[in-house]
Structure 1
Amino acid sequence: MASANPASLSLTERAKDRVRTLFPGIMIAVTVAVAAKFLSEHYATPAMLLALLLGIAVSFLGEEGKTVEGIGFAARTLLRLGVALLGVRVSMTLMLGLGWDLIILVIAGVLLTIGFGLSVARFFGHKWRFAFLTAGSVAICGASAAMAISAILPKDERSEERLIFTVLGVTVLSTIAMIAYPILVRTLGMNEIAGGVFLGGTIHDVAQVVGAGFSISEQTGDTATLVKLFRVAMLAPVVLVASLIIRGFAEMDKDGKRPPLLPGFVLGFLVLATASSFGLIPAALSEFLSQSSRWLLLVAIAAVGMKTNLKQILSVGGAAIALIVVETLFIAGFILAGITLLN
């Protein structure tokens, strides 16, 4: 019996066919994410890092077979949805309580770190794409920012390699900072507010900021989390402005397309952030969407790992590691100097 013409299939039938195609790969990515979360809770290791490593361990699933389509969908679409839902965690009303001096310090830290990364990348043998990817992830919110920025960059054969390396680098550095920075805060004799500003203004990932802050005191933890969420709020405007600039000069990507004028996930982020700031999202729904964002990003990074060739990642080299380290030291030094001047 001849198969039905795709054009003659109903919308429902096409949707069912699409679900059947994507389901195996998505379920594999979900399984890896759940395993990473379980190990994270039992071995005090960042779930994002574990999801990435576990994904790389089963990368053969992203190369051929029935799981390829679903893994690709998880790495693209679920990633963008997860970034969009991050907007529910932003409340500008609450963040304005930081005071304009700290707000200006945090904004300057984000923008100058990105500018610094773009300026020095050539000395490390890297071009603007890798520089923006690493500096943006260091300046804003680690792995989440890396994935969001990657979505607006023109694609080439090394795009996923750069993304994976950046996620690995910032996650490892963020974990080291979670341990080392509280010791530095105590050594320098910072008070609880100053310590929270330093931790929130310098550590890359939200989870590690929370861990570092509350290891000192509740007030330090609250301050660090608030400062960090202000950096997260910078994600949408930075990505939006960058996408407009990139479209003006960037070459076509490998598929012959330019980066989108206004990425849908950025628009979603802005809408949810605005609604959250005006208290339009009920607390229960906000918590549900926030948790959904965490899981979607975890599933997405597991899928990205499964699309990765580890040998290619390791070939990036020591100069790339040095660039991320230098960017990390830059934002730490800038925020520390700013706190000293403000005090």
Structure 2
Amino acid sequence: MMRLTMMLEHTATANFSRAMDIIQKYWRGFLVSIVVAAAAQFLSEHYGAPAMLMALLLGIAFHFLAEEGVCKPGIEFTSRTVLRFGVALLGARISVELMIGLGPRLIAVVIAGVVLTTFFGILCARFLGRGWRFGLLTGGSVAICGASAAMAISAVLPKNEHSERNLIFTVLSVTVLSTIAMIAYPILTEIFEFNDEVSGVFLGGTIHDVAQVVGAGFSVSDEAGEVATLVKLIRVAMLAPIVLVISMIVRRHAEDGNTDGKRPPILPTFVVGFLIFATLNSLGFIPEVVVEIMSSLSRWALLISIAAVGMKTSLKRILDVGGQAIGLIIAETVFIALFVLAGVALLGH
């Protein structure tokens, strides 16, 4: 009994020591990322600027912290692990019951828009000589949920020397375009005299980031805001299957020796978490107050991680991406907007 007690004490001491070593290694970079994210949130609340965009730009300003020194390991940890945690918690926002209310035809239009926009991005990128990774990253972020999708897709793509630059460019671009759309698209709904339902489908089916969808939808009317939010959640729900398919394709290429980088697991852990939380919420097992807490944690985790991603990338590398890339992401944005409009028109709404 005495030996068992001593073994347990030794194990507990070893685990505590290991945990303290991990904290000692990562806490500085993690804390810096939190401070940058908090500053971005302050700017967002007081000046109306998108929090993601502010976190990204402020992070880039502190790039020197990620080049060397005590903050570097923590910034790497935050940009990778905290990101996956935030994406997993996004699943708590998904509820099948709410989405069914839109009807199968509208749901089909939204899902088709996500899939076709992703393929459109890949095809256009290959045509422009940008590579399939870049097309998948930009097309998926435009099709699904902006910066959150960009970070989730980037997490399962094989890495190369342009990975960080492409991620930063994509997050920056979709955030700026989403902000422009939040202002411009409600004006278009008035010009074309859309009713509240059509306005909600158009706004929710085309604007990239969730926050901008909510802002644009409720600026038209309460009904348009509710429909826009539901439509947007359908696009968010597509994040897990899209990332899963990407992961399986990348794994197959790795097995064939056709790609570089570490071979990913068949089902990434954060996708498993996303699916579990989405299922639990759909079954009514997660109380509404807990859903709100998890949504808030997810938003903060993504904000903190994008601040860390910003710190890892220099402004010069972003500018190297070129005009073709800007044209590509604008083309993807126009494509999904035209597709959703055509789908709504064909359904007679």
State the TM-score bracket (shorter-chain normalisation): over 0.9
Structure-1 residue corresponding to 2:346: 341
Alignment of 1:1-343 (within 5 A): 10-250=14-254, 256-343=261-348
- Tell me the CA shift for residue 115 of structure 1: 1.1
Local SS of the residue matching 1:10: helix
Indicate conservation of the 8 Å contact 1:56/1:309, yes or no. Answer: yes
Indicate conservation of the 8 Å contact 1:200/1:225, yes or no. Answer: yes
* TM-score, with structure 1 as normaliser: 0.96
Structure-2 residue corresponding to 1:3: none
- Tell me the CA shift for residue 256 of structure 1: 4.6
Indicate conservation of the 8 Å contact 2:157/2:246, yes or no. Answer: no
- Alpha-carbon distance between aligned partners in 2 of 1:318 and 1:264, rounded to the nearest angstrom: 36
- Alpha-carbon distance between aligned partners in 2 of 1:256 and 1:176, rounded to the nearest angstrom: 36
Indicate conservation of the 8 Å contact 2:219/2:225, yes or no. Answer: yes
Q: Which runs of 5+ in 2 are unaligned?
A: 1-10
- Alpha-carbon distance between aligned partners in 1 of 2:294 and 2:107, rounded to the nearest angstrom: 26
- Alpha-carbon distance between aligned partners in 1 of 2:259 and 2:161, rounded to the nearest angstrom: 7
Cα deviation digits, residues 103-135 of structure 1 (max 9, x gap) = 000010001111111112123221100000000
Root-mean-square deviation (CA, aligned residues, Å) is 1.6
Cα deviation digits, residues 221-249 of structure 1 (max 9, x gap) = 00000100110000001111121122112
Q: Which runs of 5+ in 1 are unaligned?
A: 1-6
- Alpha-carbon distance between aligned partners in 1 of 2:200 and 2:249, rounded to the nearest angstrom: 34
- Tell me the CA shift for residue 33 of structure 1: 0.2
- Alpha-carbon distance between aligned partners in 2 of 1:253 and 1:222, rounded to the nearest angstrom: 45
What is the letter of the counterpart of residue 257 of structure 1?
Answer: K
Cα deviation digits, residues 40-77 of structure 1 (max 9, x gap) = 01111110000000000111011111110111000000
Indicate conservation of the 8 Å contact 1:125/1:319, yes or no. Answer: no
* TM-score, with structure 2 as normaliser: 0.94
Seq. identity, %: 63
Local SS of the residue matching 1:271: helix
Indicate conservation of the 8 Å contact 1:134/1:166, yes or no. Answer: yes
What is the letter of the counterpart of residue 23 of structure 2?
Answer: V
- Alpha-carbon distance between aligned partners in 1 of 2:323 and 2:264, rounded to the nearest angstrom: 29
What is the letter of the counterpart of residue 298 of structure 1?
Answer: L
- Alpha-carbon distance between aligned partners in 1 of 2:34 and 2:19, rounded to the nearest angstrom: 21
Using a 3 Å threshold, how does the CA distance of structure 1 residues 252 and 259 change in structure 2: closer, same or farther?
A: farther
- Alpha-carbon distance between aligned partners in 2 of 1:191 and 1:255, rounded to the nearest angstrom: 50
Deviates more, 1:242-251 or 1:183-192: 242-251
- Alpha-carbon distance between aligned partners in 2 of 1:118 and 1:256, rounded to the nearest angstrom: 20
- Alpha-carbon distance between aligned partners in 1 of 2:14 and 2:264, rounded to the nearest angstrom: 32
What is the letter of the counterpart of residue 171 of structure 1?
Answer: T
- Alpha-carbon distance between aligned partners in 2 of 1:25 and 1:294, rounded to the nearest angstrom: 19
